Structure 1
């Protein structure tokens, strides 16, 4: 599933292609993705793109008609810029045609993604955004804040930092990597972390996400950026997807467990429970 670094990479890649461009047409090749697609796509016609932003795992394309296109890529979606001679592919569900002859293509084999057309007025008060926690790369996400969220919380720490109500964008890969770098076992109860461990964890989360963004995200299966290129952070992974291999730090064998239906990786020596 594309997470924060992947969405940030797509946002950056699209910006130079779409800002100040006009949507001259669109094509909806299906009626339903995660939900039924809006019937009011005509409001996009002749709208100029003013900016592109990211909130959590959502892309927000702001238009000059007071509407925003909100895109979620689901499990395996992509949102790419394509040339005028692009031939539509299987699972291309929505295509936006721009006045520079380029096409914005939303492709989603599993149809778990979604495109919303929302008014900009009080956009972030919409239901899909209201419960989201702070962005991890902002000053709002700090040790004091995280400590207040972990106090008296008995859930295991890995599940807590993957909770978008606590902090957005720390997906499965980045949670495993951050906990390893902070030397915290994923099964530790959240309340049991010391203040220094919380400081280390916040720093690890920020550093892992920054490094992944710099590498263009992580491609394990099907993630591609706005220019249809893979990410390269998988080459820097220290723990994720390395079960049965020696730890880079201590040479002990990395283990895999299933938490909340997701594969989780840890070193039993470096991350003592």
Structure 2
């Protein structure tokens, strides 16, 4: 009987450990309205909610991407005291009440005009009683990097922005990036198969924003999986910008 008791004790201890880890974050599923779209999202808050909490809105890659790309990132951010809201943009993930963007399709209303969804998310977190409305950041991946810039110039800019490998970062967004009074960080891997490395090299050469280059890592949110240290590095970068 002793081995059984020993194994049972181990299971109980493991269970307590898992509860403690899960308790480091509080999640809430939300639905936002944007041009008739039901935008589904997950709000993740740190367990310690003393005082106003900084928050980062996370937007996924297009054409098959969804909010689950940031599940691990949101957990790491919560452990470091940063809340997050990760959303499915219109036509992606669970936000498909008016249609779905199939891989390979180029529907302007579901790609290039999806920035109102980000504004809806921005307005939601600004009015949230537990969030510090002066400490809101954004992460965009691939083309959604340009969308978070579009949302800023059509509504208002947040405190800090991280762009994960956006090779389609428009010239208009480049201009607004330089004059927005927000902090910007572009991250790219040299093995990225898109135009992103060239775009970020241009930004670095002209000193328009902070840049980070990795030798390997893949495209956009693939870097979060292939570079385990990147989540905490991003959280620390946001915390530094929020306190400046």
| TM-score, reference length from structure 2 | 0.26
Q: Which has the higher helix share?
A: 2
Q: Which has the higher contact order (CA 8 A, sep 6+)?
A: 1
Per the normalisation by structure 1, the TM-score is 0.24
Structure of greater Rg: 1
